[in-house]
Structure 1
């Protein structure tokens, strides 16, 4: 009954099954490994942020450029505060507010964006305390420039003067009349009654949309593998039923009018008009 499995048609179906199922399982396992790698990166990054808080600060110049190894490390920089800006629509501990961002002019002439703290409510320059005068030395966590649209960073434009949506050299270079470091620092201790902004893990190490896309693709590939196996068994069952019905001289429903396998259709009898010879 199963000799049909040796026909060219079923050879093709079987070869497709033997290739498709391992491929789907391989791709699903690969996507799962990508998700697990992102989870491990996230855990490692979170642990690194905690460890960085206890390390001794190092000079800013020694930690540039910012990468996954240096992001979150404590640094020190000396200079004089200059332009102050507000960064609206920033959430801290579930509350909406804004960052107070002040540019620190260092001895080299470049400016380092320093987040001096966070305040609740709508961004208001009058509510932001003025920066200390004279030369200061700041200590805080080093952070990479933000990218608008990523990790909750606003990408909207048209902000009032004195505000910026993202803390990045690309955004600030058009606001201040001096060069800006491609990095920023959030102070360990906020100034003047503000709340300190905690350091974040480096970009690409969080459980973001890409990580959950990997998890979704994992499920899709395993579903595809199961679907291929299901369709193979369904085709096999239909073929076995067809062969059994053909052996019993039955035609499967929907095949009426077609000849059974290996048989010619019977010639219909001519009508008889009562004479000795039928009319054809």
Structure 2
């Protein structure tokens, strides 16, 4: 009854099944490993951000460029405060408010964006405390430049003068007259009654949409493998039923089913 498995058609079906199942399992396992890798990166970045609060601060220039190994680490820089901007639409402890961002002009000639603190409510220049005058030394967590989509950053447009949607050199280049570091710092202790902004994990290390896409793809590939097995058994069952019906004369055999050739 199972001799049909040796036909060329079933050889093709069997070879496809034998190749498709391992491929689907491999792809599902690979996507799962990608998800697990992102979980590990997220855990390591979170632990680094926490441990970084207690380590000795290092000079800023020695910690650049910002990467997964330096993001969240404590740095120190000296200079004089210059232009001040507000970063609206930022949440802290479940409340919506804004960052007070001040540019620190360093001895290198470049300016370092410094988040001096957070205030609740809509961005209001009148509520933002003025920066200290004279030469200052700041200490805080080093952060990578933001891009739209990172940490809830939106690509806002049409903001009032004195506000910026993201803390990055690309967003600030047209707002300040000097070169900028491709990084920013959030102070350990906020100035003038503001609330300190905690360091965040670097981009690409969080349990974001991409991470859960990997998890979703994992499920899809294993479903595909199960579907291949299901279809093979379904085709096998139909073939067995056809062969049984043919043996009982309930369906025409191959010769009878072939169209007659007219002479």
| Partner-residue secondary structure (3-state), 2:255 | coil
Q: Deviations over 1:51-104 (max 9, x none)?
A: 111100011111111111111110111111110000000011111000000001
CA distance in 1 between partners of 2:81 and 2:256 (Å): 97
Matches within 5 A, 1:1-280: 1-251=1-251, 259-263=252-256
CA distance in 1 between partners of 2:83 and 2:236 (Å): 76
Residue 150 of structure 1: CA displacement?
A: 2.5
Q: Deviations over 1:29-59 (max 9, x none)?
A: 0100110011011111111111111100011
CA distance in 1 between partners of 2:110 and 2:6 (Å): 77
CA distance in 1 between partners of 2:257 and 2:191 (Å): 96
CA distance in 1 between partners of 2:75 and 2:66 (Å): 12
Residue 170 of structure 1: CA displacement?
A: 1.1
Flag as ranges the 4+ runs of structure 1 deviating above 4 A. Answer: none
CA distance in 2 between partners of 1:213 and 1:42 (Å): 16
Residue 5 of structure 1: CA displacement?
A: 0.4
Alignment RMSD, CA only?
A: 1.3
CA distance in 1 between partners of 2:3 and 2:140 (Å): 76
Residue 262 of structure 1: CA displacement?
A: 3.2
Query: Which runs of no fewer than 5 residues in structure 2 stay unpaired?
Result: none
Provide TM-score, normalisation by structure 2: 0.96
CA distance in 1 between partners of 2:97 and 2:18 (Å): 58
Q: Is the 8 A contact 1:246 1:261 kept in 2?
A: no
| Partner-residue secondary structure (3-state), 2:243 | helix
CA distance in 1 between partners of 2:119 and 2:256 (Å): 88
Say which one has the larger Rg: 1
Residue 107 of structure 1: CA displacement?
A: 1.4
CA distance in 2 between partners of 1:137 and 1:182 (Å): 19
Residue 192 of structure 1: CA displacement?
A: 0.6
Pick the structure with more helix per residue.
Answer: 2
> After alignment, is 61-70 or 6-15 more displaced?
61-70
Query: Which runs of no fewer than 5 residues in structure 1 stay unpaired?
Result: 252-258, 268-280
Residue 261 of structure 1: CA displacement?
A: 2.9
CA distance in 2 between partners of 1:4 and 1:249 (Å): 18
| Partner-residue secondary structure (3-state), 1:91 | strand
CA distance in 2 between partners of 1:180 and 1:198 (Å): 22
Q: Is the 8 A contact 1:68 1:202 kept in 2?
A: yes
Residue 264 of structure 1: CA displacement?
A: 7.0
